[in-house]
Amino acid sequence: MEGHRSLPPRRAVERVDGVEREVLVVGYEGATLTDIAGPVDVFDGANRAGAAYRVRLAAVGGGFAVGGGLRMEAEDLRDVSGGVDTVVVAGGFGFADVARDAELLHHLRRVAADARRVTSVCTGAFLLAAAGLLDGARATTHWAYCDRLATDHPSVEVVPDAIYVRDGRLATSAGVTAGIDLALALVERDHDAALARLVARWMVVFLQRPGGQSQFSVRARVPPVREPGLRAVLDAVADDPAAGWTVEEMARRAAMSPRHFARVFPSRVGVPPARYVERVRVEAAAGVLESGDEGLDVVARRSGFGTAETMRRAFLRVLGVTPGGYRHRFRTSGVA
């Protein structure tokens, strides 16, 4: 497969292993279109490269409208019975209401019972959790909702920085386009990296993108804190990451002694003060790298690192990629 330069027409390929795998994508009113279309396009691309996936879209009652108002044709989930290999549950902004739909949860548990694997995209994890399918499992969801997933479903071990998480036959992914990452990982697991890489290349995406969800947020992912002084410090660092944020200065702003602050901060925020400051600075530097052409030394000074080498080490720790590599992969296209 590695030698192919493009995906051939579907009729021109020989099946990789002769095994047809049925993929059931579960949608509902207000589901996110990309959560559905992304994985479907991956499986379709895999079919054109020699795989054999049969993709079905189902929802309770049949057709439904996705976010934005487009109408999707779908079969009735109530009529779906055995033979499903992989269940993919889409996310959507109305997930909280959908997760209380007893009929949907019943049929989700039913089709999941005999499936080889059960997966979700974005906030679809809340539906799996509400159905009891994630009890005792590791899982992830969109970074903006990881804290809520952990609070609403304490039996789930939430992994907040992962693009996707596999735990046995369960697999959950982060927000929106992470469904593509997850589907590519499933294709690679079913076949091989060469086939998955071919599909990824055709779709112009990474087979495995660098970094985790931390590249998309810092302050928004901090657990809620009650202390006004501590909240003020978090906001001040996010507003001015280049300032000289020592423990002493942060403690002064929080109206705490440095010793007490150093003890309270990690218990409330989840990381030590220096680590939080580093992550905020990485996020600030990443924004500059995405949108400008300044040299790395300038970016480092503007974001509070001081030197390009200090910034490089921080990027590798937080994102797993160098600042130059990040700029190459994530900067804006510049097309108006």
104-135: pLDDT as tens digits: 999 999 999 999 999 999 999 999 999 999 99
Task: Give the tens place of pLDDT for each residue, 195-244.
Answer: 998 999 899 887 766 656 655 556 556 667 788 899 899 889 988 999 99
Sheet-wide strand order for 170-173: 75-76, 53-59, 21-26, 86-89, 117-120, 170-173, 164-167
pLDDT given at position 327: 83
d(C-alpha 8, C-alpha 46), whole Å: 10
Give the predicted TM-score (pTM) of the model: 0.68
Residue range 156-172, pLDDT digits in tens:
999 887 889 999 999 99
- Which pLDDT does position 219 carry in this prediction? 58
Other CB atoms within 10 Å distance of the CB of residue 83: 13
- Flag whether pLDDT at 333 surpasses 50: no
* Residue 289 confidence (pLDDT): 87
The per-residue pLDDT for range 243-264, each reduced to its tens digit, is 999 999 999 999 999 999 999 9
What is the set of active-site residues? 122
